[in-house]
Amino acid sequence: MTSSVITPSAAHLRFFGIRKKDFAASVISAKDEAKKGQITCTGKEYDILSGFFKGELHTGKAASDPDKATKQFVLDNAGGQPVPLKLVYPKEGKNELRLYMSKKNGFRPQAGDIWYVYKRDSKKLHIGFMSRHEWEQIGKQDPDDADYQQAIQAELAGQPVMQTRYAYPRLLALAKSECENAGYRCRVDGSHQSFISGTNGKPFVEVHHLVPLGQQSHYTVTLDCAANLVALCPNCHRQLHHGEVTSRNVLLEKLLADRKAALATAGIDITLAGLEVCY
């Protein structure tokens, strides 16, 4: 069984873009879950999973009906791509709900990792995992980022923006221009789907500083410039901050290739290796 339930903070809820009632997270236990590669879902995990797949869950061994046992999830660790995972009631007459991990499909958290599940709408159920350190860093890597993203949305909607004193200066007009120039699509892949923003009726995107603002002391030019701003879907934005190193670096390589010339023109000279160590 899950060894420890994790309660999300307000920063976590903003990070995932959901309400507390739609989110559940727990620590992977060493002796049971990590060793066996399966999670017995209890409490809020059970409520979210059983409620989402109501009436569609297989009872019995997964191998006895693989098609019915397999459910589709949106895996945050895979950049928000759909992945199949097996979810069943393994025992007749019992309310035990079991989720099977899959290394092949990218969902294989280790002992001590935090796994989570959440829903934003009735059509998709998100799932993912991260280390405890990554979990604790949410809201801390750029303490102003949550306020910055909220201010960008207000700017896009033409609403009054509350003046915030940031650790590093940043211009909302530049962020707004990047969203518009990107056509409200993810710079990693324009086909990435995002929900429609309630503020301006456009696909929801966030704005990320490719060379992090924390590196400002290494440059004589500002890092808050058009060349260094990239519009991203929420999944890619989170992956850059909290994703597994290899997949995160794939995103960095693509984004840097697209922006390297513009960055150099702006006086920001950086290699891929140099960018990777910033994350």
Indicate if the pLDDT at residue 7 is higher than 80: yes
Higher pLDDT, 47 or 169: 47
Judged on CB neighbours under 10 Å (0-12, 13-18, 19+), 196 is exposed
Distance between CA atoms of residues 213 and 142, nearest Å: 8
pLDDT (mean) for 196-216: 91
Residue 192 corresponds to which tokens in the numbers above? 């990435």
Give residue-wise pLDDT tens across range 61-104: 999 999 999 999 999 887 778 999 999 999 988 889 999 999 99
Residue 96 corresponds to which tokens in the numbers above? 């035990």
Residue 1 pLDDT grade (very low, low, confident, very high; cuts 50, 70, 90): very low
Give residue-wise pLDDT tens across range 175-203: 999 999 999 999 999 999 999 998 899 99
Distance between CA atoms of residues 76 and 128, nearest Å: 5
Distance between CA atoms of residues 225 and 266, nearest Å: 8
Residue 219 corresponds to which tokens in the numbers above? 């440059």
Residues 6+ apart with CB under 8 A from 190: 183
pLDDT at 2: 45
Question: How are beta strands 125-130 and 38-41 bridged, if at all?
Answer: unpaired
Question: How are beta strands 38-41 and 229-232 bridged, if at all?
Answer: unpaired
Give residue-wise pLDDT tens across range 135-157: 876 655 566 777 888 889 889 98
Indicate if the pLDDT at residue 247 is higher than 50: yes
pLDDT at 105: 94
Q: Which CATH class is domain 4-132?
A: mainly beta
pLDDT (mean) for 260-273: 94
pLDDT at 274: 85
Q: Of 8-12, 205-209, 218-222, which has the strongest mean pLDDT?
A: 205-209
pTM of the full predicted structure?
0.56
Residue 201 corresponds to which tokens in the numbers above? 């009726």
pLDDT at 61: 94
Lowest mean pLDDT among 66-70, 116-120, 169-173: 169-173
DSSP state letters, 132-162: HHHHHHTTTSSTTHHHHHHHHHHHHHT----
Q: Outline which parts of the chain fall under CATH 2.40.330.10.
A: 4-132
Give residue-wise pLDDT tens across range 11-54: 788 767 788 999 999 999 998 899 999 999 999 999 999 999 99
HSE-up of residue 100 (Cα within 13 Å, Cβ side)? 17
pLDDT at 241: 86
